Chains A and B, each alone.
Chain A
Amino acid sequence: MLALQILITGFAISALYGRGAVGFTLIFGVSGVLNLSHGAIMVVAAVAAWASASFLGFGRYGGAAAGVLAGFLLSYATYFLVVRPIQNSRAIPRDEKEIFVLTGTLLWGIMIQEAVSYLFSNTPKTVLPLLPGVVGIFGVRTPANEIVTFAISWLVIGLLWLLVNRTRRGKTLIAAAMNPRGLTLLGFEMANIHRTVWAIYGVLAGIAGVLLGAFLGVSSDNVGTLTASAFSIVVLGGLGSVSGSLIAAYVVGYLETVTAYLVAPSVRSVPVLLLLVLVVYLRPQGLLGRR
């Protein structure tokens, strides 16, 4: 019974973690950017879904759509206001762009967090579940929303796979991750590719935020934790590797759930951190990463 409970909860949590991390790793793989405002974008998506459903009367589906749109817009804002100016700046030496992007997106994330907490306070917001009700799976009472979360997660990842592997535009993304210079020589505009990947990222982060809001509830205080968990999952799986991130998300999700159920909820993140240190020491490129 307990095993089944762990299995189901772990499944839903892992699916959530996975989708949050996929966007993060995609951005890194294609444009080499570690976006430390990731958590803030997810929180804004969830809060936008919550606010438009409860104040503006958008209903549960309209609210969810508004949340995803907010994530998309904010992702574009992050790219155009923070990341691109740093990448194009002549005053910043090339080998220091990385730390400037990290510091810049970090500050941007703090600004978003403060703005959200000022406008909507930092109390947890729960987004209306897309599908209300409870379903019994082999005797374990499971909220229908957990199943929806799981299904949407995999649907989105499946669509992403199709987009990247089966369309011309998607294939340029893979090419950009492998060899940006070669792609430029073939006449592709890198700026165009970066815009595409930030758009995909925004939608992914938006969906992740809305589902997280419906599943666990989200407050502006979660920004740091969300970014840190995406960062660790992505490094565990190998920076830039989408399938690695998915596997890592399940490892982290289950490790946390098992610890929370069998040991104590307060220590749930400790085994993950230890595993992370171990992996980084022994296999720095992560599970499926390339050096």
Chain B
Amino acid sequence: MLRSRNVWLGLVALLALYLLPFWVSGYVLGLLTVAYYYSVAAMAWDLLFGFAGEVNFGPSFLVGLGAYTAAMLDHYEGTPIWLCLIAGAAMAVLGGAILAVPALRLRGPYFGLVTLVAVLLLQNLLVLFSGITGGEIGLDIPDVLSVDDRTNYFYALVFMTISGGLLLGLSRSTAGLILQASGQDATEAAALGFNVAKHKLAAFCISALFSGLAGGMLIFYLGTASVGTVVDISVGVQFIIAAVLGGRRTIVGAAIGSIFLIVAGEILRPLGELSTFVVSGIALIVILFFPGGFLGALRQRGG
């Protein structure tokens, strides 16, 4: 358990984020807006990996489903934004349920491959039907959440706060404990009388719900949906690195990791092409020497 000092630290940091728009420029706010949407997807991934013990290599499959469903509804039907978001989330939940079926039967690398293939298939289909989906160029979206930097920033921050709070609460609840038990030893958890399949299915659907919503919100902020921003494997890899970097099995760590990745990428921008090299190097060093991630290191020092 995190000590209460750290909880206070977290609340102060969150408050600082809410007050940030009074100090910094619109450019920084835009950067953080994207980081917040990414962090929701990373937290949703952590629920699956850290608690349910399922290595999902394709978080961008769920994010992409939500994003493209919302984008296509808005582009072709002119559906109101909130309805697009709900439809996108519903589609992502459906995708999550489809992924859950093999997860209940397969283990480790096999399940990892299915999720990887899911991303590749989605990507191939989007490119194949480029007449409808916009292909690699992307699909422009007529509606946007807002044109104002600050409003967008607050939308993203509130979305992250609520999603993070719900996911954190869930992971600390009885259901979260049962999930953790089924992730570590499914047979024993089942022997204790818990319905492993039901809990894992629920975890997939919840993770998919938040991923899909994050994808939908992100494209309504960016004003365009493209394979490179919401579906590509490198996008999914970024969620995974963020969650492991921040500290797996903590939910909050995933958000910290996402913000760190985007801010670090920006600070290192003068290095040009080498910035990705340096960021990956830092992440590798953290994984090798501080496997608990940022929060794990913090916890160790505290106790």
Tell which of A13-21, A148-156, A263-271 binds the partner.
A263-271
A interface, over-half SS: helix
Residue among B110, B117, B184, B277 with the most chain A CB within 10 A? B117
B273 proximal to A (CB < 8 A): yes
Cross-chain contact of B291 among A100, A107, A276, A284 (Cβ < 8 A): A100
Q: What's the minimum C-beta distance from B187 to chain A, rounded to whole angstroms? A: 14
A118 proximal to B (CB < 8 A): yes
Indicate if the CB atoms of A114 and B273 lie closer than 8 Å: yes
A167 proximal to B (CB < 8 A): no
A273 proximal to B (CB < 8 A): yes
Q: What's the minimum C-beta distance from B136 to chain A, rounded to whole angstroms? A: 11
Cross-chain contact of A280 among B113, B273, B280 (Cβ < 8 A): B113
B217 proximal to A (CB < 8 A): no
**Which residues of B lie under 8 Å from residue A114 when comparing CB positions?**
273-274, 276-277, 280
CB closest chain-B residue, reference A108: B284
Indicate if the CB atoms of A231 and B276 lie closer than 8 Å: no
CB closest chain-B residue, reference A95: B184
Indicate if the CB atoms of B110 and A235 lie closer than 8 Å: yes
Q: What's the minimum C-beta distance from A56 to chain B, rounded to whole angstroms? A: 24
A66-125: which residues lie under 8 A (CB-CB) from chain B? 82, 85-86, 89, 91-92, 95, 98-100, 102-104, 106-108, 110-111, 114-115, 117-118
B147 proximal to A (CB < 8 A): no
CB closest chain-A residue, reference B244: A103
Indicate if the CB atoms of A235 and B113 lie closer than 8 Å: yes
A239 proximal to B (CB < 8 A): yes
B35 proximal to A (CB < 8 A): no
- A100-B291, A114-B276, A231-B113 given; A273·B244 CB < 8 A: no
A232 proximal to B (CB < 8 A): yes
- A99-B55, A276-B113 given; A111·B284 CB < 8 A: yes
CB closest chain-A residue, reference B243: A103
Tell which of B64-72, B121-129, B188-196 binds the partner.
B121-129
Indicate if the CB atoms of B241 and A270 lie closer than 8 Å: no
Indicate if the CB atoms of A118 and B292 lie closer than 8 Å: no
B102 proximal to A (CB < 8 A): yes
Indicate if the CB atoms of B280 and A277 lie closer than 8 Å: no
Cross-chain contact of B128 among A104, A266, A281 (Cβ < 8 A): A266
Indicate if the CB atoms of B288 and A89 lie closer than 8 Å: yes
A59 proximal to B (CB < 8 A): no
B116 proximal to A (CB < 8 A): yes
Indicate if the CB atoms of A280 and B287 lie closer than 8 Å: no
Q: What's the minimum C-beta distance from B265 to chain A, rounded to whole angstroms? A: 12
Indicate if the CB atoms of B117 and A277 lie closer than 8 Å: yes
**Which residues of B lie under 8 Å from residue A100 when comparing CB positions?**
287, 291
Q: What's the minimum C-beta distance from A183 to chain B, rounded to whole angstroms? A: 23
A235 to B281, CA, bound (A): 29
Indicate if the CB atoms of B233 and A224 lie closer than 8 Å: yes
Indicate if the CB atoms of B128 and A280 lie closer than 8 Å: no
CB closest chain-A residue, reference B234: A224
B134 proximal to A (CB < 8 A): no
Indicate if the CB atoms of A270 and B284 lie closer than 8 Å: no
**Which residues of B lie under 8 Å from residue A91 when comparing CB positions?**
290-292
Indicate if the CB atoms of A269 and B240 lie closer than 8 Å: no
A168 to B222, CA, bound (A): 61
B198 proximal to A (CB < 8 A): no
B216-238: which residues lie under 8 A (CB-CB) from chain A? 233-234, 237
- A104-B288, A110-B276, A111-B277 given; A280·B121 CB < 8 A: no
CB closest chain-A residue, reference B106: A284
- A91-B291, A284-B106 given; A228·B280 CB < 8 A: no
Cross-chain contact of A284 among B110, B184, B284, B288 (Cβ < 8 A): B110
A277 to B117, CA, bound (A): 7
A34 proximal to B (CB < 8 A): yes
A228 to B123, CA, bound (A): 14
